[in-house]
Amino acid sequence: METRRVVITGMGAVTPLGNNVPAFWQGLKDGTNGIGPITKIDVSESPIKLAGEVRGFDARDHMDFKSAKRMELFSQYAVAATREAFQNSGLDLSREDPYRMGVIVGCGIGAMQKHEKEIPKFLSGAKTDPLYIPLVITNMASANIAIQFGLKGKNMDISTACATGSHCIGEAYNAIRLDEADLIVAGGTEAAITTSAIHGFSALKALSTSCDPNLASRPFDKDRDGFVLGEGAGILVLEEYEHARKRNAKILAEIVGYGVTNDAYHITSPAPDGSGAGMAMKIAMRQAGILPADVDYINAHGTSTHLNDLYETRAIKFAMGDAAEKIAINSTKSMTGHLLGGAGAIEAIVCICTMSDGFIHLTRNSSTSEEELDLDYTFNKGKIRPVRYAMSNSLGFGGHNATLLFQAV
């Protein structure tokens, strides 16, 4: 069956480094640390003191007050990022068939802050917000995007923990390839800097307990002690190539490969041999028709946990063989923290910006690796280097693996 080419024509972001793509990318290029003291909740009794918070965000800058009141923060982030992505794309939505435009935007956890507000109410017998359920369910990010922009085609919410954003982009890519749509808004969102999330991940021993923002998120460093929770959203406008060309769109990149696997091993740990994530990379390369030596850059999942960083390194070696030593690798999470469901989406944006600028940002806070962690993780400073093929990896709890492969245009 003949498939169609899929390109990126728009991007939008809300992140701890800025609430639009230019600010986000400039922050990464400058090596700015988006991680700082938690201000959104009381952590005086918690060992966790740091997070990657979104700052200066006002939903009313991106939608009317009534719409904002009917969305929780994760949906607001997604709608705001979508508005930027459409503006970036140059699309005139009034001239498009709404049934050929879709949305695949996911969220890993949903509105945990709303749960924290409402559960004490009904436990005490107080009146519950009648919109409680419609506000918290994870599909409301994709639903609200459709409502705000009149997108009546395929609409889905994929929730695969930390692989959510990448899976949403990958499945949108497949849908356009198979002629189910001409254009799909795809990505991920999360707003989980909440008491329950902090306590839950802390109990799991997954979060860094450092009080120093410069020593907290340290992917691939021998002294790493866990990830830092982040928040925000990333949105891409995926478009069929001929559709974009006919309207003279500026094409930012092309998606040429998507690999998806499951480790079938453990609910939180990746497979120790890296075979699951490694096979996702192999599938993406096979789909693109390229070899490991063709890959110039990998945006790693790179969470700063001991198991993830080691097992992802093994996965890269499993997929790339001898070529692994020559590939530039970095972790955006070193500056943003881990956006959970939004991580893969903002990291896809990083891949596209990297190819456009020919600049690979540093892995901040990290300087010294350990045995087996012997690849080029872009410690200490960024690299000026042409990048034709960029790969993004996402690994989620439950063994969910996703790899996206982008080609420069």
Query: Which pair of tokens denotes residue 409?
Result: 């245009």
**162 an active-site residue?**
yes
In angstroms, how far is the first alpha carbon of the chain from the final one?
25
**243 an active-site residue?**
no
| Catalytic annotation, pick one of 62, 167, 243, 301 | 301
| Catalytic annotation, pick one of 62, 107, 162, 167 | 162
Backbone φ and ψ for 244, nearest 5 degrees, come out as: -70, -40
Distance (Å, whole) CA 387 – CA 223: 30
Distance (Å, whole) CA 19 – CA 23: 7
Judge whether 40 and 113 are in contact, CB under 8 Å. Answer: no
Q: Which residues pair with 262 in a beta bridge?
A: 400
Distance (Å, whole) CA 400 – CA 370: 26
| Catalytic annotation, pick one of 338, 351, 361, 400 | 338
DSSP for 41-73, written as a single string: S--TTSS--EEB---S--GGGTS-HHHHHTS-H
**351 an active-site residue?**
no
Judge whether 108 and 159 are in contact, CB under 8 Å. Answer: yes
Considering only CA atoms, which of 75, 371, 351, 127 is closest in space to residue 231? 75
Q: Which residues are catalytic?
A: 162, 301, 338
